[in-house]
Amino acid sequence: MRVVQPPLYILWITTFILLSLTLKPAGAAPAATCPGVTRGVCGRQCTLHVCRQLAAFYSATNNISQANGPWDEEGGWELTSSRSCEQLLPAGSTQQQQPAYCSWFGISCCTAADLAEGACTAIGAVAAIDLPLNNLNASISDKIFLQAVQQLHACGLTTLNLEANSFSGTLSDDWGSLVHLQKLDLANTWISGTIPDALQELRNLTQINLSNTWLTGSLPGWLARLQQLEQLNLGQTWLEGTFPAGIGSLKQLRELNLEATGLAGVLPGNLCQAKGASKLLQLSIRGNALEGSARVLENCHNLVQLVRAWQQQQEQQQQQQQQQRVF
Ligand SMILES: *[C@@H]1O[C@H](CO)[C@@H](O)[C@H](O)[C@H]1NC(C)=O
Ligand SMILES: *[C@@H]1O[C@H](CO)[C@@H](O)[C@H](O)[C@H]1NC(C)=O
Ligand SMILES: *[C@@H]1O[C@H](CO)[C@@H](O)[C@H](O)[C@H]1NC(C)=O
Ligand SMILES: CC(=O)N[C@H]1CO[C@H](CO)[C@@H](O)[C@@H]1O
């Protein structure tokens, strides 16, 4: 009987290996990759891919007024059902020419200078989408929308400004895959839910604007780890809880807006932790229950605008006194 044992043993091992191989890809979706990029240049395969992703983005957000499209016709996107990406990007076009989508309204393409600055990864791909106030209507949890954004991100998208549109939905963990993002602006939309921990992977963010939304939950402590942050605007949201002390250690922070939120408690005594080096210019904390003494701002040497409830009252009193004097 012992003679049979080795093959059985091998069979078990083989089964185990096969099982683990088939089970592995069942986890998180693999990160999107950008096809057709050679030495920092978005080649034809890449430009076609980018164009198709913009088409997907367009159809996922274009549904408010299909007749005219949400974007202005003159500078508008040329993509319609009768004009495909193949027609817009003829095969013979030279690399010196910018792909047609680079001149579309709200689109900025990656240039050699941008590439050198680390602002994008492939010349000729899309570096920024700036479409504030453009009647876009979609859910940010919508799979088609999200996939288009993820694919564009894989090709070097670093700025996504969709402020003041009709976006709804929640920031799912999938948003944590957009690790190259430097600017994220979804302010003035209907988005709701909490700020997922997955967003802490977006270490290169310099600007976050999620103000005037229906976001709930607490202000995540990991924001303190986004060391590139220059502007953080989470004002006019339903965020609550306390102020994470570490935010005071963000060395690049210039603007911090937490006004009209449910935040409460005592401000940490180290709001501008980096002595002498604090870049904080604007701080707005009115309209919430945050408390703190003036000593909290001791090291905020560069502060030029401070908006606090008590200060506003003082200004109003001063204005009233001045008016009384005039009359
Ligand atoms: C926006 O899209 C949603 C669902 O996709 C739809 O129910 C709603 O009517 C749209 N809003 C407008 C103003 O077209
Ligand atoms: C973050 O920025 C640095 C500097 O530009 C760059 O080297 C790095 O690759 C970026 N990381 C990601 C995930 O984009
Ligand atoms: C963020 O959004 C608010 C509200 O729409 C807007 O006033 C502000 O200019 C935006 N940008 C920054 C950096 O706060
Ligand atoms: C999000 C959404 O509803 N997208 C639809 C917009 O309209 C196009 C074309 O009619 C559809 O293909 C999308 O599914």
What's the pLDDT at 15?
54
The pLDDT of residue 290 is: 86
Please write the tens of the pLDDT for every residue from 20-32.
Answer: 554 444 444 567 8
Cα 52 to middle of ligand 3, angstroms = 30
* Non-local CB neighbours of 87 within 8 Å, separated by 6+ positions: none
Q: Which atom of ligand 4 is nearest to the CA of 138?
A: 1
Q: Which residue's CA is minimally distant from atom 14 of ligand 4?
A: 60
* Domain definitions of the chain by residue range: 35-193, 216-327
Return the best residue to mutate from 52, 59, 62, 80 for the ligand 4 pocket (most ligand atoms within 8 A of CB). 59
User: Which of 160, 229, 230, 233 gets mutated to test ligand 3 (max ligand atoms within 8 A of its CB)?
Assistant: 233
pTM for the structure as a whole: 0.83
Contact 201, 186 (CB under 8 A): no
Nearest CA to ligand 2 atom 12: 180
List, chain by chain if needed, residues with CB within 6 Å of any ligand 1 atom. 63-64, 137
Q: Is the CATH number of domain 35-193 3.80.10?
A: yes
Considering the segment(s) 216-327 as one domain, its CATH architecture is Alpha-Beta Horseshoe (3.80)
Average pLDDT taken over every residue of the chain = 83
Residues with CB under 6 A from ligand 2: 118, 179-180, 204
When pLDDT is averaged across residues 178-189 and rounded to a whole number, the result is 98
Q: Answer yes or no: is pLDDT of 158 > 90.
A: yes
- Using one digit for the tens of pLDDT, what is the confidence trace for 218-255? 999 999 999 999 999 999 999 999 998 888 889 899 99
Q: Which atom of ligand 1 is nearest to the CA of 63?
A: 14
